[in-house]
Amino acid sequence: MVIRNIFSLTCALLLLAACAKSGGEEQVIERAFYSMGSEMEFKLYCPQSAKCTDAVNEAHEEVQRLDYIFSNYRDDSVLAEVHLNAEKGPVKVPREFIELTRRSLEFSELTGGAFDITVGKIFELWKKAGETGNAPTKIEIENALKCVGYKKVNLFPKRGEISLNPACVRLDYGAIGKGYAVDKAVGILKKFGIRRGIVNFGGNIYALGPPPGKDGWVIGIKDPLDSSESMIEIIVREQGVATSGDYERFFEIEGKRYSHIIDPRTGVPSTGVKSSTVVSGDAATADALATAFSVLHESESISSLKRIEKLMPLDVFIIRGDSEDGGKFLSDGFKELVYYRDGH
Ligand code: AMP
Ligand code: MG
């Protein structure tokens, strides 16, 4: 996914002053920082640039704090501590850990287990296979699946504790954490009174209010077969947007490409969906559901869509590689977001 015009190539962080353009009473400020393995990019409308700078600095601190909580790359994260101590019983965790885990478990319920943060053990197995080049055996998959399943996680919100049963369960927030971080950053921007802007964190987007005089932010959705091209454009405001797909991150095993999104129900990388884009009310929901729609089979995705859209805003665009009709599915709500430059 690309945001059109969000950053001109010449607009590096050091050239900020030069990049601040006048937008009526407000200035357009473009900023970025690196965290969680991706760049978080901001395009904001601010009455004074100092306010945007302070807001982005606070957002940076917050995202670093979330990384320290949820990272599965750091030995000193709260997540690492949970895994280390799971054997001994419930582990005390910060409020955000309970919050994001609770939401993740709800998304598992809503998607019939297609989205599942307990995918860690099986994900590690496929990741290792990608490194060695040898596919996991059936037995290895069966063994890893014993440590997978969202019902194996118990939360005790009042005590601020989590338990994993069995203790071999490995949590992985990779499919929701960036979206969640975007929402937290947006909360900080709003606290600073920033109402217009857009945030992009590795393809997890939240669009605040639109630029002055515009109806929304135009976002291009990449063609999974040629990711240098935008396939369609949509226009959004006060919405979260995310795309999941197998075209950017994948494992290569015995000459074959496998998706980095695993079907937790079978323990095998998902097949069929080339890309799925979700627009919802917040970025964490869009992130989680875009991953889920990459797993769900065609008939399952229609029934899930119908069920979930009764509960929350949900517009989806799915491209299947295994369909005879070119495989593009746009929900009715998504069709209304499509942006036609010539007005049609
Ligand atoms: P995303 O790019 O948001 O679709 O997230 C993909 C990442 O989430 C993977 O790299 C894994 O770390 C993790 N993951 C893989 N499959 C699943 C799944 N079915 N449910 C939840 N997380 C998953
Ligand atoms: Mg996701």
pLDDT given at position 226: 81
Give residue 263 CA to ligand 2 midpoint distance, Å: 13
Tokens representing 279 are: 């627009």
Q: How confident is the model at residue 59 (pLDDT cuts 50, 70, 90)?
A: very high
Compute the average pLDDT of residues 152-168. 98
Range in 8-12, 21-25, 42-46 with the lowest mean pLDDT: 8-12
Across 20-26, average pLDDT: 55
Contact indicator for 224, 244 with CB cutoff of 8 Å: no
Q: What is this structure's pTM?
A: 0.92
What's residue 17's pLDDT?
Answer: 31
Q: Does 344 score more than 60 pLDDT?
A: no
Contact status, residue 166 vs residue 120, Cβ threshold 8 Å: no
| Closest listed ligand to the CA of 107 | 1
CA distance 336 to 194: 27
Determine the average pLDDT of the residues in 318-322.
Answer: 84
Residue 96 predicted with pLDDT over 90: yes
pLDDT band for position 54 (50/70/90)?
very high
Mean pLDDT of 58-72: 97
Mean pLDDT of 113-139: 96
**Could you tell which of 172, 180, 278, 297 is best to mutate to test the pocket of ligand 1, judged by most ligand atoms within 8 Å of the CB?**
172
**What's the pLDDT tens digit per position in 5-21?**
333 222 222 223 333 44
Residue 112: the pLDDT is 97
Query: Is the pLDDT higher at 8 or at 322?
Result: 322
Question: Which ligand is located closest to the Cα atom of residue 287?
Answer: 2
16 CA to middle of ligand 1, Å? 34
How confident is the model at residue 342, as a pLDDT?
72
Please, which residues have CB less than 5 A from ligand 2, an ion?
A: 175, 287, 290-291
At residue 239, does pLDDT exceed 50? Answer: yes
pLDDT above 60 for 337: yes
Q: Which among 261, 270, 271 is the best mutation to test ligand 1's pocket, defined by most ligand atoms within 8 Å of the CB?
A: 261
**pLDDT band at 148; cut points 50, 70, 90:** very high
Residues 6+ apart with CB under 8 A from 199: 40, 41, 42, 182, 185, 186, 189, 205, 206, 208, 283
Q: pLDDT at position 10, please?
A: 25
Q: Name the pLDDT band for 300 (thresholds 50, 70, 90).
A: very high
Share the mean pLDDT of the chain: 90
Average pLDDT over residues 227-236: 90
Tell the residue nearest (CA) to atom 18 of ligand 1: 115
